[in-house]
């Protein structure tokens, strides 16, 4: 899904994000992979709207599903990681080439 498609979907449902990195052809997965931020740093005295947050795009992730090696099955499998669990932290961004 591109950032543009996501932002359009959110807008059509009366939703949005405080700040976004590079809308357009950048994909949501790509934005997360490079730790794209759109920090939305508040101005002095500014209060954030209810339900909004400042910081990187990955701050909004509650859970994600990744293709991981399942040693019991001896094959790759889908696994869902939840934000409140420690094993999710390493998947919220990567800096550099994965290969």
pLDDT of residue 11: 92
| pLDDT at residue 89 is higher than 70 | yes
Are the C-beta atoms of residues 79 and 73 closer than 8 Å to each other?
A: no
> 21 and 51: one domain?
yes
Enclosing H/E stretch for 5: helix 3-12
> 55 and 66: one domain?
no
> 47 and 75: one domain?
no
Mean confidence (pLDDT) of the chain = 82
pLDDT of residue 49: 74
| pLDDT at residue 93 is higher than 70 | no
Domain enclosing residue 14, as ranges:
1-60
Total domains present in the chain: 2
Q: Is the pTM of this model over 0.75?
A: no
Residue 57's Cβ-count burial label (10 Å; 0-12, 13-18, 19+) is buried
| pLDDT at residue 80 is higher than 90 | yes
- Report the DSSP pairing between strands 75-82 and 63-70: antiparallel
Which one, of 60, 72, 64, lies nearest residue 88 by Cα? 64
């Amino acid at each position: 899904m591109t950032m543009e498609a996501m932002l359009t979907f959110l807008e059509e449902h009366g939703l949005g994000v405080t700040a976004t990195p590079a809308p357009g052809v950048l994909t949501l997965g790509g934005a997360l992979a490079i730790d794209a931020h759109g920090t939305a740093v508040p101005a002095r005295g500014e209060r954030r709207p209810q339900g909004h947050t400042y910081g990187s795009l990955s701050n909004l992730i509650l859970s994600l599903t990744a293709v991981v090696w399942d040693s019991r099955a001896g094959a790759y499998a889908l696994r869902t990681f939840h934000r409140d669990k420690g094993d999710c932290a390493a998947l919220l961004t990567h800096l550099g080439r994965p290969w």
